Amino acid sequence: MNSDQPTNETPCCQQQQRRTFLARLSIALSAVIGVIIALPGIGFVLAPVFRKPKQKWRKVGKLDDFKVGGFVLVQYEDSSSVPWAGITAKEGAWIRRASETEFIAFSINCRHLGCPVRWVDDPRLFMCPCHGGVYYEDGTVAAGPPPEPLQRLNVRINNGQVEIESGPTPLTLTKIT
């Protein structure tokens, strides 16, 4: 290419500009297509992360069903189940009638890594089948690796029914100091 031939240069550069424009246009449109496809999908998949934790009161039995004494296992539907969950929507808790009017309930999830703890009545201990975590009846750690006490759940008596407030699975979080 040289400046002696301006007639040739003009179409060449127009051609060049046109190509650059078309390339950019294609890239931009690809990005638009990508965004249109991806955004609804990403929103759909991430939605559960941003949902506000739901808490719901769930009936777990009549007041008279519970005797003062040790913990019993109760089952109820979790607070954010999907229609197809079936049996997997169940959640469990250990509940104890401490006195005529007072109930104590714990989530069954061990605070180490979430395995289901078992109440053993005679030694009055919760024991975890995974790594040997043990808790006293007030939920505090008695032995093993759990870093935190069992999570207390709210209990109330409503029209002669005992109700537990179901909520998210308790997570043991790393504290930033």
Residues in touch with other proteins (CB under 8 A): 46, 48-49, 51, 53-54, 73, 75-76, 78-93, 108-109, 112-118, 120, 122-125, 127-132, 134, 136-137, 142-145, 147, 167-169, 171-174, 176
Using CA of residue 151, residue 138, residue 75, residue 120, what is the dihedral sign? positive
Q: What is the CA radius of gyration of the chain?
A: 31
Q: Residue 49 binds which one of ligand FES, other proteins, none, with CB within 5 to 8 A depending on kind? A: other proteins
Nearer to ligand FES, 128 or 164 (CB): 128
Could you tell me the smallest distance in angstroms from the CB atom of residue 79 to other proteins? 8
- Which one of residues 130, 136, 148, 165 is an interface residue with ligand FES (CB under 6 A)? 130
Could you tell me the smallest distance in angstroms from the CB atom of residue 124 to ligand FES? 18
- Of 139, 143, 164, 163, the closest CA to residue 151 belongs to 139
Burial of 110 (0-12, 13-18, 19+ CB in 10 A): buried
- Which one of residues 144, 161, 165, 170 is an interface residue with ligand FES (CB under 6 A)? 144
For tokens 């519970």, the residue is 66
Beta strand residue intervals within the chain, DSSP E: 56-62, 71-77, 90-97, 103-107, 118-120, 125-127, 134-136, 141-143, 152-153, 155-158, 161-166
Could you tell me the smallest distance in angstroms from the CB atom of residue 117 to ligand FES? 7
Phi, psi (5° rounding) for residue 105? -135, 145
For tokens 């005797």, the residue is 67
Of 22-30, 37-45, 53-61, 109-117, the window that binds ligand FES (rule: CB under 6 A) is: 109-117
Q: Which residues bind to ligand FES, rule: CB under 6 A?
A: 110, 112-115, 128, 130-133, 144-146
